[in-house]
Amino acid sequence: MSITNLIASHNERFTPTDRRIAEAVLEDPMLLTFGTASAVAERVSTSSPSIVRFATKLGFEGFSELQQSVREEISKQFTSPSHRARQQDESVAPVQLKIEDAVHAAFDALTPECIKAMALPIVVAKNVWILSGETSMAGAIALASGLSMIRPNVRLVQEHSASRDLCGALAEDVAVVFDFSRYRRNSVIAARTLADLDVPIVAITDGPLSPLSSLTEYRCELDVPAVGPFDSSVPAVIAAELLVSQVVTELGDEALNRIDRLEVFWQATDTFLVTSPPTKP
C-alpha cells in the first residue's frame, strides 16, 4: 500500500498537527524520503515527537520504519521500467495534447478586451439569463454558479421551461448563450427571439459561422477539442470562469459584499464540513 493511500485511509483520525504534517509530506515527498524527523518537524513548525506519533498513527513502529517504507516505494518505482516510460513517453497522450492546445487557444481568443466586452452587459444587466446546448452545459453551470454568488437575478434556463422563464426577459437584461458546433435548435431559437426583443446577447460559441455570432458583438470564439466521441467543454468552462472573474472586478465591493453575505449564510447553515486552516504561510 502506497504512502498516499495510507494517509488517505487514516485521515479521519488525524489531529490538526497530523494534518499539517500530512500536507507537507504530500507536497514534498523528498522531505520524508531523505530528511530526518526533526527536519520534517521544523518544516511544519512542530516537534519531532509529533512526527513520530504521526508515523505510529499510520501503523508503523516509528519514524524510521515509515521512512523505510517510503524509500522502498521509491526504489521500486525507480527500478521498474514504468517510471522511465512515463518520464519520456509523450506518445500515449494525444488527448492531453489536444486539450492543452485548446486551453492555450482559448486564452488566445479570450483576450482581456474580449472578456471585458462580454462582462460589460452582464455587469449592468438587471437579470442574467443563461442558456446552453449540451456540450457546453458545464460552462453554463460554471457561469451560473459563479455569477449567482456575486450578483442577484442569475437564472440558468432549463430546456423544458425555457419559454416560461424567458418570456419575462427585457432589454435591461442580458442573455448569455453557450453553444457549439451542432447547435441546439432550442438554444439558438431562444437566443434569436431574445435578440429580437432587444435583449443583449453574450455568446460563447465556436466561430463566425455560428448562428449565435450574427446576433451580437459581445462574443468569443473558441475551439473545442474532441475527447473520445464527444466534445470537450473545457474551453467553455474557462470562458465562464474568466467572465466571472472579470465581473467580480468590475462590480467591486458590490460583489465582495455579496460574497460576504453568502459566507454568513454558509456559516449559519453549516454548509461546509471542515474549515481546514489556510496553508499559506
Partner DNA sequence: ATAGTATTGTACCATCCGTTACAAGAGTAG
Partner DNA sequence: CTACTCTTGTAACGGATGGTACAATACTAT
Residues 21 to 80 in contact with a copy of itself, rule: CB under 8 A: 22-23, 26, 28-30, 34, 71, 74-75, 77-79
Instruction: Return the range that interacts with a copy of itself (CB under 8 A); candidates 40-48, 118-126, 162-170, 223-231.
Output: 223-231
DSSP, collapsed to helix, strand or coil, labels residue 280 as coil
- 25 near DNA, rule: CB under 7 A: no
Cβ-based nearer residue to a copy of itself, 9 or 38: 9
Cβ-based nearer residue to a copy of itself, 143 or 172: 143
- 141 near a copy of itself, rule: CB under 8 A: yes
| Cβ count within 10 A of residue 245 | 13
Sketch the per residue contact string, 45 through 84, with DNA: x for CB under 7 A, - otherwise. Answer: xxxxxx-xx-x-----xxxxx-x-----------------
Encode burial over 46-83: b for 16+ CB neighbours within 10 A, e otherwise: beeebbbbbbebbebeebeebbebbeebbeeeeeeeee
Cβ-based nearer residue to a copy of itself, 4 or 163: 4
Cα dist from 221 to 176, 209, 260, 273, whole Å:
14, 10, 34, 39
Task: Report the partner that residue 166 touches, choosing among DNA, a copy of itself, none (CB closer than 5 to 8 A by kind).
Answer: none
Place of cell 432589454: 171
Give the separation between CA 236 and CA 183, rounded to whole angstroms. 14
Evaluate whether 241 touches 146 at the Cβ level (below 8 Å).
yes
Instruction: Return the range that interacts with DNA (CB under 7 A); candidates 42-50, 113-121, 195-203, 214-222.
Output: 42-50
Footprint (CB under 8 A) of a copy of itself, residues 176-215: 181-186, 188, 207-211, 213-214
- 37 near DNA, rule: CB under 7 A: yes
Place of cell 466521441: 229
Q: How far is the CB of 145 from DNA (least distance, A)?
A: 32
What are the φ and ψ backbone dihedral angles of 169, each rounded to 5 degrees? -70, 140
Evaluate whether 26 touches 4 at the Cβ level (below 8 Å).
yes
- 33 near DNA, rule: CB under 7 A: no
Nearest to 247 by CA among 214, 194, 208, 202: 202
Binding site residues, DNA, CB under 7 A: 15-18, 36-39, 45-50, 52-53, 55, 61-65, 67
